[in-house]
Structure 1
Amino acid sequence: MKILAFDTSSIVASVAVMDDDKLIGEYTINHKRTHSQKLMPMIEEVLESCELTMKDIDVVAVAEGPGSFTGIRIGVATAKGLSHAMNIPVIGISTLDALAFNVAFSHGLICPILDARRNQVYTAVYKWDNGNLSMIEEHMAVSIEELVDKLMQRPEKVIFLGDGVATNKIYLIEKLKDRVLFAPNSMKMPKAASIAELALQKAKEGNLKNCYELLPTYLRKSEAERQYEEKIKRCDKDGACEG
Structure 2
Amino acid sequence: MKIKKDASEAGQPVLLGIESSGSACGVGISSGGRLSGEISANIRNIHSRQLAPFVEYLLQSTGTVGRELSAVVLSAGPGSFTGLRIGYSVAKGLAHALGIPIVEVPTLDVWAYQAGMQSLPVMPVIDAHRGEIFCAFYQWEGEELKRSGEYALLKPPDLRGFLNSAALLAGADAAGLYPALEPFLPPGSRRLHPSPASPQLWALLELGLQKYRQNLASHPDSCEPLYLRAFKGAL
Which TM class, normalised by the smaller chain length?
0.7 to 0.9
1:153-192 alignment runs, 5 A limit: 153-154=164-165, 156=166, 158-173=167-182, 176=185, 178-186=188-196, 189-192=198-201
Secondary structure of the corresponding residue to residue 67 of structure 2: helix
What CA deviation, in whole Å up to 9, does each residue of 1:10-39 have, x standing for no partner? 111121111113111122222223201111
Distance in 2, matches of 1:175 and 1:122, equals 15
Deviation at 1:218, TM superposition (A): 0.7
1:198 and 1:34 map into 2 onto residues whose CA distance is 25
Task: Using the TM superposition, give the Cα deviation of residue 84 of structure 1 relative to its aligned residue in structure 2, in angstroms.
Answer: 0.2
- 1:210 aligns with 219
TM-score (norm 1): 0.84
Preserved CA contact (<8 Å) 1:99 1:161: yes
Deviates further, 52-61 or 78-87: 52-61
User: Which protein shows a greater Rg?
Assistant: 1
Instruction: Give SS of 1:223's match.
Output: coil
Report the Cα distance in structure 1 between the residues aligned to 2:140 and 2:15, rounded to whole angstroms: 24
Compute the RMSD of aligned alpha carbons: 2.0
Q: Please give the alpha-carbon distance, in whole angstroms, between the structure 1 residues aligned to 2:35 and 2:100.
A: 20
Give the AA of the match of 2:231: S
5+ residue gaps, structure 1: 225-243
State the SS of the aligned residue for 1:81.
helix
Counterpart-to-counterpart distance in 2, 1:141 and 1:172:
14
- Identity over aligned residues, as a percent? 29
Matched, 1:44 2:56: yes
Distance in 2 of aligned mates of 1:9 and 1:150: 24
What SS does structure 2 have at the residue aligned with 1:51? coil
Report how far residue 53 of structure 1 moved: 2.3
Q: AA paired with 1:184?
A: P
Q: Secondary structure at the match of 2:76?
A: strand
Residue 61 of structure 1 corresponds to 73
Pairs within 5 Å for 1:21-100: 21-100=33-112
Aligned partners of 1:121 and 1:164 also within 8 Å: no
d(CA) in 1 for partners of 2:155 and 2:69?
40
2:29 is the alignment partner of 1:17: yes
Unaligned stretches of 5+ residues in structure 2: 1-12
How far off is 1:149 after superposition? 4.8
From 132, 137, 151, the counterpart of 1:120: 132
SS at structure 1 position matched to 2:37 = strand
Distance 1:57 1:67, change over 3 A: same
Cα distance in structure 1, aligned partners of 2:198 and 2:92: 24
Q: Figure out how many residues of one structure are paired with residues of the other and give that number.
A: 221
1:135 aligned residue: 147
For residue 223 of structure 2, what is the amino acid of its counterpart? L
What is the CA–CA distance in structure 1 between the aligned matches of 2:151 and 2:182, rounded to whole Å? 23
Alpha-carbon distance between aligned partners in 2 of 1:17 and 1:42, rounded to the nearest angstrom: 11
C-alpha change, 1:211 and 1:29, in structure 2 (3 Å) is same
